[in-house]
Structure 1
Amino acid sequence: MPYDICLKIFILYGNNICNMKNIKNSRGFKQERKRNIIQALCSLATNANLPGFFKGKIYTGPTKAACVPGLNCYSCPGAVGSCPIGSLQAVIGGRKFSMSYYVAGIIIFFGAVFGRLICGFMCPFGFFQDLLYKIPVKKFKIPQFLDKILRYLKYVILALFVIIFPLVLTNQFGMAPPYFCKYICPAGALEGAIPLVSTNPGLRNTIGFLFFWKMGILITVILLSIFTYRPFCKYICPLGALYSFFNKVGFYRMHLNQDKCVGCGLCEKACKMDIKVRKDINSLECIRCGACKAACGHGAITVSFAGFEINEEKNKDLQDKKAAAKGGCSPAACAGCPGCGGNKNLK
């Protein structure tokens, strides 16, 4: 009897080890690992003034006049550039409103060239949410009907807190605070408020309702990010809302080859942003993480930049040839799809 129990434990342990090896060798895992490395490097480059975190001082050097691509608080002690959303609010809420060609131009440039690729690869707060989601707890999805409504919230926030309020709700001097940064932005609380308050005793005397309000929003976003994927990006971020308009018209585009698609649905299962990939591959919600492309073993999903196809899998043609020889799909893509009739033992 003890022998049988030990044998079962050994088999289960061995299967788990094999499964872990298969996961680590999968294209999806490798793609995610590459993306995480790029995210870490971009976050470090955006907050390269590391001594600022120890000194508790905001960097005011020449690079602070330039906007970074992602959402990163100006008041973060490590920040070496300005936040596009903060800069846009500062321009709109200025004493004499005059749209800055620089701020508008840099946002249009980032959007046209990258679109929401910035959200997937270059945004520090997006990376922060990705790390939280890696915590091994049971995940859940927001109910579809509620999710569909909440997706529009970020556009409402963009219109009201970034544009209309700074234009209309001004003080006696004709100036307005950055409403989104002041009342909503959890990135500002994480990157700016916490480091500055923790290293400057004098600032602790100024803590009031607004500080705890922002901490409440931050804690809510953190908790949600552990259980559901990127809630801030899906429902709140006005910068993501701005960049989303360029997903369908920007230089960086994704393509679905209907002739190669076998309808297995693995691309949609791999998408953490819950996009209907086969219906709208350049959805406004797509952050260009590449998970759908990595999940497709048929080379049906490709990407292009300014009309030129890029990032083709080196072994795609070989996989297609093997799949064709066996009369089904490649091992990486097999999920009981029409292409192979459900044979998951292809080798």
Structure 2
Amino acid sequence: MTRAFLQPNDVRDLVAHQFGADRKVAALDRLTGGSKKGVYRLQLDDQTTVIVYLWAAGENYWPPSPTVPDDPFTDASGAELFAVNHAALTAAGVRTPRLLMLDRDGGYLDADIALVEDVGATTLEALLEGDPAAAATPLSTLSEALRRMHTTLGPHYGKLAAVARGEAPQTRRTEDIIADRALGHLAAAAARDTRLSDAHDQIADHVRHLHAAVTARQAYGLVHGELGPDHVLVTPAGEPVVIDIEGLAYFDVEWEHAWLQMRFGDAYPALRPVDLDPHRLDLYRYAQVLSLIDGPLRIADTDFPNRQWMLDLAEWNITKALRISRSGSGLAADPVTPARPRSASG
């Protein structure tokens, strides 16, 4: 499809209404990395900067795909989710960019938009790679924020907006959802890669073996869903600021920690996790490996601008999935890739 991104003239009325008729647009830069919404840095003629989030079809690179019906991480995008999740994180004392304005009525553009605080471009990932000493304080602060999140319990699992409306289905156990999700990712990826097709039954058996070891539990904490150091900005004052929050849900905290272990690598112990079920964690870690094969292969079939990175990510995880299924051993908490840009999910 031909994509038409936001241009300075498109936000002229927005700027006039939000900042005054005497303010002009000096620059509007689309930030790279995200794949479900547009993220733009808006600079005014007085050097003020804010971030514009734009939820529009032309900003979403993900093609439709089969999903598990009660998977709370499906279709985790949109202004409603952003608003509800932003409020929940604020209530939990988790720093996010301050919400300046939210328009879901098409008052400025033919799409939902939000204006949020510009906290800068420095990620915790960049600090961990280039200046580990400077990362120590924000990492410690993030650890405290995560503990507050993961001990903020919900009555049911699901997206926060659905839980608040009483619409979160509770027909199955969470580990059943994740096992089905993993098998769905496997089937889709096997259709694209002969190595996975050849090993399909072996991998599926490994998923079922991991699932069988998990015992029932009903305790759901507040989880980000895909929190890596690329989803944490660090202000000049050293504050960690969590972004890409639309995937927030009440779910098993092991899902979050499976992702944290994978993405933070050697820095993960500094996050001081809450008590975790090791069997649930093993299943969720392997399920995420399969997700990081299927998702990247699907988006690589589109016009996503960083296609090769997606293919490399899929290859990394194909190797991992095959190695683990053949050995039948657990999954080491190694990072997804040595140099990871902003998540392709945000």
Whether TM-score is above 0.5 comes out as no
- Structure of higher CA gyration radius: 1
**Normalized against structure 2, the TM-score is what?**
0.26
| Length-normalised TM-score, structure 1 | 0.26
The higher-RCO structure (CA 8 Å, 6+ apart) is 2
The structure that is helix-richer by fraction is 1
